[in-house]
Chains A and B, each alone.
Chain A
Amino acid sequence: MSKLGNRADWADDEEFDDPSALPAQQVITNKDGTKTVISYRFNDDNKKVKVTRRIKTSVVREHVNPQVAERRSWPKFGLEKGHPPGPTFDTTSVGENIVFRPSINWKAQAKEAEKDGGEKGSMKDQLKDKKVKCRICSGEHFTARCPFKDTMAPVEEPTGGAEGATEEEKSGTLGQGSGGYVPPHMRKGGAAAGEKMGGRFEKDDLATLRVTNVSELAEEQEMRDLFERFGRVTRVFLARDRETQRAKGFAFISYADRSDAELACDKMDGFGYRHLILRVEFAKRT
């Protein structure tokens, strides 16, 4: 019952008070001399977080040479003049941790460590014990140099090729076992009809106009200005010659809306632009 009551209170707090206001910080002094500080804050997700900290204060007395203590108050001078106290990042940094354990047989340990480290470090050492093995006849030569290269197919390697084989089974219908290349559209998981490149432009094609008989001197921006009058143009493509950078004589204009495209097609077909008469039609799917 009390629990429920508590909960209601908490909800009240949440709903009826200003949600952005945080409860005041509470400081409770415990019997054992510690203090409990309860404070609230918002975290990164803008959620209210209650932070409870127990603080124990202990006085550490340190005996310092009075001269050293006096020196601590010296002001900075020279290049550091006027800088605030504390190390600056441009002159002082902390290096990575160094493990330093003195030991009598240090030399033997260091040698061992070097051996371990060395094997990982050098590719040459790593491959030292590896042997060349032909995938066709398992002889000690590269597969490309195999005398049976043209007459035999590679043998299946049960150990080394296990990973590759399972993948092949998953995705391959044709050429299974032979290990040959299977085009994506002929794989089991692939779409039967195959995905066409640029499939994601399908929707755009409905609102794309093909403009031909465009002047060589045409600019993309000009084309955009010309066609933007009829609606929002999402894409302007002006074909250019790769070497001369001149327009090739055709362009594609994509509209956001099919009706705009229809209007533009209607109006712009036969429009005189730069000494030529434009021909505008809906782009056909090839």
Chain B
Amino acid sequence: MRPILLSGHERSLNQIKFNKDGDLLFSVAKDKHVCAWWSANGERLGTYQGHQGAIWTVDVSPNTVLLATGSADNTVRLWNIKTGECVKVWDFPTAVKRVAFSPDGSKLLAVTEKRMGFLGTIVVMDIKYGDDQLGNLEDQADEPSLKITCEDSKATVAGWSFLAKYIIAGHEDGSVSQYDPKTGDQLENVQAHEFDHQINDIQFSPDRTYFLTASKDKSAKLISARNLAIMKTYPADTPLNSAAITPKKEYVILGGGQAAMDVTTTSARQGKFEARFYHKVFEDEIGRVRGHFGPLNTIDVHPAGTAYASGGEDGYVRIHHFDKPYFDFMYEVEREQLRK
């Protein structure tokens, strides 16, 4: 497979996201603009201008009308994807580290940083999609409908479970917790990863019944959204920044690498800047994809499972469209199952 290299950013990537149809890819980096790309050929559709600081996170609404971004300039911005206009700005006391639309797109959660005397919070905003012609998108609620304050350990990442029944958050201390999105109560908290090893990414399965966490403790874990039971563990030899579940084939993709500050002293090979593919069920590593010159900060998989993209500390996004061997690979037991 020949990767498509996207070099629209001047600094390291923070998050990339495919839309639900997989035709668009959004990327945010430490430079101040958001890029939208056509995933098929790597053509840039446009950029969303307006943020004043590094952008940490991006999410796209399920109907590909609105784009939410969270930035170090303490704002969450909502963009009209088609025109590139900013339709709403929410101000927060601290930087925003993660935004996520609920499965139906009616709510948006944002994780704010713990800093300057403010505790880390998870806030939920109600999102409206204007009138029938998708006009009047500026009409959004000013105040969040819910605010969850994380008192023990700040949340670093968060997402919505199936049917928006729970909010799942990963914490700085390596624990994962489950919140009720109606009342904001913490329902459960599990020390999923080693203590004091931050959870860097959380991504859900297509039906959102389970999710995958990537942690600094050099492992990724597959956890059930219902009761936070740890189902699978994927050990790696390097701190992980991102982990994604692939639809269509039962794999997971992990990305990481040495922390950016230790990178200059090591070669690309030793730095372990590779995307690692594990079999989701058997937990075996089945291959790696090289290419980045720095740690992988973010990975996202095409919702149809035909491609994946990775964004690295080197400022590049690489879109890989899988070729035949990827789809053909099967374990012996899988093959037997198929014959029956």
Task: Kindly supply a per-residue 1/0 record for chain B positions 45-85, scoring 1 wherever the CB is within 8 Å of any chain A CB and 0 otherwise.
Answer: 11111000000000000001000000000000000001110
Q: State which residues 57-87 of A face B: CB under 8 Å.
A: 65, 67-68, 71-72, 74, 76-81, 85-87
Judge if B130 is at the interface, Cβ distance under 8 Å. no
Whether the pair B7, A90 counts as a contact (CB closer than 8 A) is: yes
CB of A86 to closest CB in B, whole Å:
6
CB of B240 to closest CB in A, whole Å:
18
Tell me which residues across on chain A come within 8 A of B290, comparing CB atoms: 98
Number of interface residues of A (CB under 8 A): 33
Contacting B45 at CB < 8 Å: which of A68, A76, A102? A76
Stretch at the interface among A104-112, A134-142, A195-203, A224-232: A104-112
Tell me which residues across on chain A come within 8 A of B285, comparing CB atoms: 106-107
CB of B54 to closest CB in A, whole Å:
18
What CA separation (Å) do A68 and B304 show in the bound complex? 14
Tell me which residues across on chain B come within 8 A of A92, comparing CB atoms: 4-7, 41-44
Whether the pair B8, A91 counts as a contact (CB closer than 8 A) is: yes
What CA separation (Å) do A78 and B35 show in the bound complex? 9
- Residue of A with least CB distance to B275: A100
CB of B287 to closest CB in A, whole Å:
4
Whether the pair B8, A78 counts as a contact (CB closer than 8 A) is: no
Q: A74-B45, A78-B48 are in contact. Are A96 and B286 (CB under 8 A)?
A: no
Contacting B287 at CB < 8 Å: which of A91, A95, A106? A106
Tell me which residues across on chain B come within 8 A of A88, comparing CB atoms: 43-44
Judge if B277 is at the interface, Cβ distance under 8 Å. yes
Contacting A68 at CB < 8 Å: which of B1, B23, B284? B23
Tell me which residues across on chain B come within 8 A of A6, comparing CB atoms: none
CB of A110 to closest CB in B, whole Å:
7
Tell me which residues across on chain B come within 8 A of A106, comparing CB atoms: 284-288
Whether the pair B286, A103 counts as a contact (CB closer than 8 A) is: yes
CB of A17 to closest CB in B, whole Å:
45
Judge if A286 is at the interface, Cβ distance under 8 Å. no
What CA separation (Å) do A215 and B133 show in the bound complex? 93
Whether the pair A101, B325 counts as a contact (CB closer than 8 A) is: yes
What CA separation (Å) do A242 and B64 show in the bound complex? 76
CB of A108 to closest CB in B, whole Å:
11
Number of interface residues of B (CB under 8 A): 43
Contacting B5 at CB < 8 Å: which of A65, A71, A81, A95? A95
Whether the pair B287, A103 counts as a contact (CB closer than 8 A) is: yes
Whether the pair B83, A77 counts as a contact (CB closer than 8 A) is: yes
Judge if A97 is at the interface, Cβ distance under 8 Å. yes
Q: A78-B49, A79-B33, A95-B5 are in contact. Are A102 and B326 (CB under 8 A)?
A: yes
What CA separation (Å) do A184 and B333 show in the bound complex? 75
Q: A78-B33, A87-B41 are in contact. Are A100 and B4 (CB under 8 A)?
A: no
Q: A98-B3, A100-B287, A100-B323 are in contact. Are A86 and B24 (CB under 8 A)?
A: no
Q: A79-B33, A79-B46 are in contact. Are A102 and B287 (CB under 8 A)?
A: yes
- Residue of B with least CB distance to A70: B82
Q: A71-B64, A92-B43, A94-B2 are in contact. Are A102 and B277 (CB under 8 A)?
A: yes
Whether the pair A87, B1 counts as a contact (CB closer than 8 A) is: no
Whether the pair B320, A98 counts as a contact (CB closer than 8 A) is: yes
Whether the pair B42, A87 counts as a contact (CB closer than 8 A) is: yes
CB of A64 to closest CB in B, whole Å:
9
Judge if B92 is at the interface, Cβ distance under 8 Å. no
Judge if A151 is at the interface, Cβ distance under 8 Å. no
Judge if A46 is at the interface, Cβ distance under 8 Å. no
Judge if B318 is at the interface, Cβ distance under 8 Å. yes
Judge if A93 is at the interface, Cβ distance under 8 Å. yes
Q: A98-B1, A102-B325 are in contact. Are A110 and B288 (CB under 8 A)?
A: yes
Tell me which residues across on chain B come within 8 A of A103, comparing CB atoms: 286-287, 329
Contacting B44 at CB < 8 Å: which of A74, A91, A94, A98? A91
Whether the pair B44, A77 counts as a contact (CB closer than 8 A) is: no
- Residue of A with least CB distance to B80: A77
Q: A67-B64, A76-B46, A80-B44 are in contact. Are A94 and B7 (CB under 8 A)?
A: no
What CA separation (Å) do A93 and B317 show in the bound complex? 11
Judge if B21 is at the interface, Cβ distance under 8 Å. yes
Q: Which 4 A-B pairs have the closest CB atoms?
A: A78-B47, A77-B84, A77-B46, A102-B329
Can you list 29 A-B pairs, Cβ within 8 angstroms, ordered by A?
Answer: A68-B23, A71-B64, A71-B82, A74-B45, A76-B44, A76-B46, A77-B45, A77-B47, A77-B83, A79-B49, A87-B43, A87-B44, A91-B6, A91-B42, A91-B44, A92-B5, A94-B3, A94-B4, A96-B2, A97-B1, A97-B2, A98-B320, A100-B322, A100-B325, A100-B326, A102-B251, A102-B326, A104-B331, A110-B288
Known: A87-B42, A94-B5. 20 other contacts (CB 8 A): A71-B64, A72-B23, A78-B46, A78-B49, A79-B33, A79-B44, A79-B46, A80-B47, A87-B41, A88-B43, A94-B2, A94-B3, A95-B4, A95-B5, A98-B1, A100-B320, A103-B287, A103-B329, A104-B284, A106-B284
- A-contacting residues of B (Cβ < 8 Å)? 1-8, 21, 23-24, 33, 41-49, 64, 82-84, 251, 277, 284-291, 318, 320, 322-323, 325-326, 329, 331
